[in-house]
């Protein structure tokens, strides 16, 4: 290696090291935020979590108008059942509102952590409970057209598919469910705004710019 090449290599190493240092500096970590602001952020996150619990688990379900109760998250409902309902209901407005048991299972397990090894039997019991409640319909795959089957999966290896029941669809379209009565969207947005306000100015400005650009 000649002297000139040696200098170039050293320069590249210095540049690389400096670049890595800049990345570390630019990456915001919790320790970069004051303890007071960290605690305030935790408070806002707790507020968001509590609101989500109200929506997803229906903690205050008694306040829901009975007319809109069908299809709404119910009091005491566990998280797995809630995830199943959301996954099934989210397909309601699509041209393929059906889902297979394997797809439901994979969705739950993909959440990781304590859900990564949830048994098929556990999920199957939750789905059957929703069917019994009239919120989910179980349909024999033979009732679907081949073109509809292809929208669900490429290879047919299942006997039944699941979708939101007619009663649930009507409630989803006509009803307010729990969102506006128990945990208003405005409350959630306020928590988010308060959380963002507590960020360091440079991070706050960067986030605001990204939000504006996304429009």
Full DSSP string of 117-140: T--HHHHHHHHHHHHHTTSEEEEE
According to the model, what pLDDT value does residue 16 have?
Answer: 52
Q: Is the pLDDT higher at 18 or at 105?
A: 105
Range of the domain at 60: 34-64+178-198
| Residue 21 placed within a domain | no
Q: Flag whether pLDDT at 122 surpasses 70.
A: yes
According to the model, what pLDDT value does residue 1 have?
Answer: 56
Q: In the chain, how many domains are there?
A: 2
The tens digit of pLDDT for each residue in 125-177 reads: 999 999 998 889 999 988 888 888 888 887 777 889 999 998 888 777 765 55
Can you say how many angstroms the Cα of residue 78 is from the centroid of all Cα atoms in its chain? 16
Average pLDDT for the chain: 74
| Residue 25 placed within a domain | no
pTM of the model: 0.60
Q: Flag whether pLDDT at 65 surpasses 60.
A: no
CA angle in degrees (0–180, nearest 5) for 13-16-18: 110
Six token digits for residue 25: 């500096």
| Residue 186 placed within a domain | yes
Which secondary structure element, helix H or strand E, spans residue 106, and what is its range?
helix 101-109
């Amino acid at each position: 290696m000649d002297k000139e090449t040696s200098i170039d290599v050293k320069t590249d190493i210095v540049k690389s090291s400096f670049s890595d240092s800049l990345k570390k500096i630019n990456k915001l970590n919790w320790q970069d935020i004051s303890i007071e602001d960290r605690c305030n952020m935790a408070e806002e996150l707790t507020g968001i979590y509590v609101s989500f619990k109200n929506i997803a688990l229906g903690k205050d379900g008694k306040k829901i108008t009975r007319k809109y109760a069908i299809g709404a998250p119910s009091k005491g409902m566990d998280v797995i059942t809630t995830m199943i309902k959301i996954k099934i209901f989210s397909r309601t407005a699509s041209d393929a509102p059906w889902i297979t048991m394997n797809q439901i299972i994979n969705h739950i397990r993909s959440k990781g952590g304590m859900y990564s090894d949830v048994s098929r039997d556990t999920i199957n019991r939750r789905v059957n409970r929703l069917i019994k409640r009239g919120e989910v319909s179980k349909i024999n795959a033979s009732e679907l057209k081949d073109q509809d089957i292809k929208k669900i999966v490429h290879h047919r290896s299942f006997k039944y598919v699941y979708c939101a029941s007619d009663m649930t669809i009507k409630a989803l379209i006509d009803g307010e469910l729990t969102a506006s009565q128990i945990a208003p969207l405005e409350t959630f947005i306020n928590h988010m705004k308060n959380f963002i306000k507590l960020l360091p100015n440079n991070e706050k400005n960067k986030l605001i710019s990204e939000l504006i650009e996304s429009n």
